[in-house]
């Protein structure tokens, strides 16, 4: 079932998303060589709890942490641990915030220190594809229009889109209908209508699109061990232009 949001509900999601944006800014300023991924997770947990909110991912279907931290060939759902970030790594930080009964969700992939030009192109292309997808998330369009726009941009740049993992509706539940694929055909799929809130999240591999799951039941890796990038925003579909409810503002301030 698809849940369309009232103005009041969208306002609460925006409050949730503001906390989430601030969390991402804190993490962005803390990512450097020699930092444990578990330290980043602890920072996020304390920050969210101090704001009177709760980490959406913690205990979700048994997930043990507040952040999904995915390094290098890990696509998504990486579990924070004692791994020390090192020069040349890329690290995806995926976070959700539950506030006043509503979730927000966003992700950003960082380079640690200097990264190679081809990996930088992977990150740039994935981020660009997110915003290209958002541009197509207009009332009257279909999910195939969103997915196709992402897929075309990614594949034109020589990368591949993961098929098994997709974006989603979001609201009172972290994952609601409809599913939001990052691939597809124009004019196909669910029709987008006003007041739908969705998480658009391209997951893009440098090599082949194939993935596998670790024995921990969570960590998803590329089958060819090549790097993967992940960017995500929570977006409101409306009759004018799609409205991005989450923000990379604090990330960009930290990085600059």
The answer to whether 63 and 34 are in contact (CB under 8 A) is no
Predicted TM-score of the model (pTM): 0.97
Vertex 234: Cα angle to 20 and 177 (nearest 5): 125
- Within 8 A by CB and 6+ apart from 46, the residues are none
Domain ranges of the chain: 7-255
pLDDT digits (tens, 9 = 90+) for 194-236: 999 999 999 999 999 999 999 999 999 999 999 999 999 999 9
Largest CA distance in the chain: 48
Fold classification of 7-255 (topology level)? Creatine Amidinohydrolase (3.90.230)
pLDDT digits (tens, 9 = 90+) for 226-256: 999 999 999 999 988 999 999 999 999 999 9
Tokens of 86: 């090192």
pLDDT digits (tens, 9 = 90+) for 178-191: 999 999 999 999 99
């Amino acid at each position: 079932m698809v849940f369309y949001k009232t103005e009041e509900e969208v306002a609460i999601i925006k409050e949730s998303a503001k906390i989430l944006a601030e969390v991402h800014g804190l993490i962005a300023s803390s990512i450097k060589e020699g930092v444990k991924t578990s330290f980043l997770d602890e920072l996020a947990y304390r920050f969210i709890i101090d704001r009177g909110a709760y980490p959406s991912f913690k205990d979700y279907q048994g997930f043990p942490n507040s952040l999904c931290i995915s390094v290098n060939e890990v696509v998504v759902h990486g579990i924070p641990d004692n791994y020390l970030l090192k020069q040349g790594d890329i690290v995806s930080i995926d976070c959700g915030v539950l506030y006043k009964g509503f979730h927000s969700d966003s992700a950003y992939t960082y380079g640690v220190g200097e990264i190679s030009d081809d990996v930088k192109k992977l990150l740039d292309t994935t981020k660009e594809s997110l915003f290209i997808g958002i541009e197509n998330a207009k009332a009257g369009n279909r999910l195939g229009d969103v997915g196709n726009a992402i897929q075309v941009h990614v594949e034109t740049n020589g990368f591949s889109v993961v098929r098994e993992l997709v974006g989603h509706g979001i609201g009172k539940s972290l994952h609601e209908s409809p599913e939001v694929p990052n691939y597809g055909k124009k004019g196909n799929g669910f029709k987008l209508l006003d007041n739908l809130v969705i998480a658009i999240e391209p997951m893009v591999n440098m090599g082949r699109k194939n993935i596998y799951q670790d024995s921990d039941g969570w960590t998803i890796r590329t089958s060819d061990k090549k790097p993967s990038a992940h960017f995500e925003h929570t977006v409101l579909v409306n009759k004018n232009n799609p409205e991005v409810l989450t923000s990379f503002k604090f990330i960009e301030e930290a990085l600059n």
